[in-house]
Structure 1
């Protein structure tokens, strides 16, 4: 019997301004716009963006409200951040800083990982994004 064949296809983010978020993800993280569409039943506009095999789906829904403060949000079950793999976290940090991205802290090693490193940034809406470099031997 073969196990399930599962891999990440995309993650979805609710944003207050679809056009501003498309601009941020394309200009800052080098995503490319695949397509946009409307969801009439939700009064929503949406877009799929791609960076290699990684995709993000952005939703602008009329009347949506922001998430609570990040620290308080940890007290509510559900998705808390998205993580994107990078080849060199230091080089990625340097590029993104030149593009105006503020890091919440310098890259740090994941305890017990053997050398994996991570750092956190926020997108133009304050959504938490983890950048993750896997240690190679």
Structure 2
């Protein structure tokens, strides 16, 4: 690999994290239902289609300055599916299935939870609804698992590891 410059020559700009991530869905109503009723997130108003843009809505993941995920409805949206890979990983945590990238630019969206308790509550809810998910992973300072939304988009729930 070549030398990577670690000192920036960019202006001193104070970033505050992500404002939002924009994704497409073939069915905005089903997506809102999944994020609100399954995950307990907050949906903003649904905006009408304007120009070539479909209906759209922001879904906010809790008490954050971020606007969350901005879903645009596009009936012809093609979203790469990974449910079989998630099932293989759930059956064999050493499976390399999830390490392969899906076609397209998005691999997954990770959401932060406050605690292990929140992670277990979410996991129980997803299990009740038979949502495909991995085991819980210990990643050093965090614990996490990956699951699929109603569109097949990989989502991650991550929380700080509790000290023993």
Pairwise TM-score range, normalised by the shorter structure: 0.7 to 0.9
Q: Is the 8 A contact 2:57 2:71 kept in 1?
A: yes
TM-score (norm 1): 0.79
Q: Unmatched 5+ residue regions in structure 2? A: 1-10, 86-96
Q: Unmatched 5+ residue regions in structure 1? A: none
Query: Number of residues paired by the alignment?
Result: 133
Q: Is the 8 A contact 1:42 1:61 kept in 2?
A: no
Bigger share in strand: 1
TM-score (norm 2): 0.67
Q: Is the 8 A contact 1:35 1:49 kept in 2?
A: no
Q: Of residues 103, 107, 122 in structure 1, which corresponds to 2:136? A: 107
Q: Of residues 122, 135, 145 in structure 2, which corresponds to 1:119? A: 145
Which contiguous aligned blocks of 4+ residues in structure 1 show a shift greater than 6 angstroms? Answer: 70-73
Q: Of residues 41, 46, 58 in structure 2, which corresponds to 1:31? A: 41
- Give CA-to-partner distance per residue, 1:80-111, whole Å, 9 cap, x none: 100011222233312332344231x210111x
Q: Give the SS at the match of 2:45.
A: strand
Give 1 or 2 for the bigger CA radius of gyration: 2
